[in-house]
Amino acid sequence: MMVSSISNISNFISGVAAVAVAAAVVLTHCASLVVGSVEYSPKQEAKALLESGWWSHEYLNSTTTTPCKLPGITCNPAGSITHVSLQGYPPLYGRKLGRFLNGSSFPNLVHLDLAKARLIGSIPPEISTLSKLTHLNLSHNYLSGELPLSLRNLSQLVMLDISFNSISGSILPELGNLNTLVQLNLSDNRLTGAIPSTICDLTNLQYLSLSRNQLSGSLPSRIGNLKNLTSLKLSSNNLMGTITPSLGSLKSIQYIDLSSNHFNGSIPIEICSLSTLLSLDLSNNSLVGEIPSRFADLEDLTTLNLAFNNFNCCIPCSFMYHRTTLHADTYLYDYVRCSKIWSGGIVKDGLIIVCISFILASSFLVLIIWAVFYKCGCKNKKIKSLDETIATKNGDIFSVWNYDGNLAYKDIIQATEDFDIRYCIGTGGYGSVYRAQLPNGKVVALKKLHTSEAEEPALRMSFETEVKTLTELKHRNIVRLYGFCLHKRCMFLIYQYMERGSLFCVLNNDVEAMELDWKKRVNIIKGIVNALCYLHNDCTPPIVHRDVTTNNVLLNSELEAVVADFGTAKLLDPNSTTQTTILAGTYGYIAPELTYTIAVTVKCDVYSFGVVTLETLMGKHPKEILSSLSSSSTQNLKLIEILDQRLAPPRSRLAVHNVALVDSIAFACLNADPKLRPTMDSVSKQIVERRTPLADHCFHEITIGHLMNP
Which positions are annotated as active-site residues?
547
Amino acid at 666: A
Write the burial class of residue 361 (CB in 10 Å: 0-12 exposed, 13-18 middle, 19+ buried).
Answer: exposed
CB 687 within 8 A of CB 526: yes
Beta bridge partners of residue 434, listed in sequence order: 424, 446
- Other C-beta atoms lying within 10 Å of the C-beta of residue 354: 16
Cis bond upstream, residue 541 (ω within 30) = yes
Instruction: Kindly state the DSSP code that residue 537 receives in the 8-state scheme.
Output: I
447 is in an annotated binding site: yes
Cα 574–chain centre separation? 40
Concatenated DSSP letters of 126-167: GGGG-TT-SEEE--SSEEESBPPGGGGG-TT-SEEE--SS--
Cβ neighbours for 6, distance < 8 A, ≥ 6 positions apart: none
Rounded to whole angstroms, the Cα distance separating 496 from 41 reads 51
Write the burial class of residue 11 (CB in 10 Å: 0-12 exposed, 13-18 middle, 19+ buried).
Answer: exposed
Amino acid at 641: E
CA angle 457, 463, 464 (to 5 degrees): 90
- Other C-beta atoms lying within 10 Å of the C-beta of residue 512: 19
Amino acid at 78: A
Amino acid at 454: A
Cβ neighbours for 599, distance < 8 A, ≥ 6 positions apart: 578, 579, 580, 593
Write the burial class of residue 666 (CB in 10 Å: 0-12 exposed, 13-18 middle, 19+ buried).
Answer: buried
Instruction: Kindly state the DSSP code that residue 451 receives in the 8-state scheme.
Output: H
Half-sphere exposure of 577 (CA within 13 A, CB side): 0
Helix (H, G, I), strand (E, B) or coil at 397: strand
What radius of gyration do the chain's Cα atoms show?
31
Amino acid at 563: V
- Measured in degrees and rounded to the nearest 5, phi and psi for residue 619 equal 85, 0
**In Å, how far are 269, 534, 548 from 478, measured between CA atoms?**
47, 9, 12
- The annotation places the binding site for ATP at 447
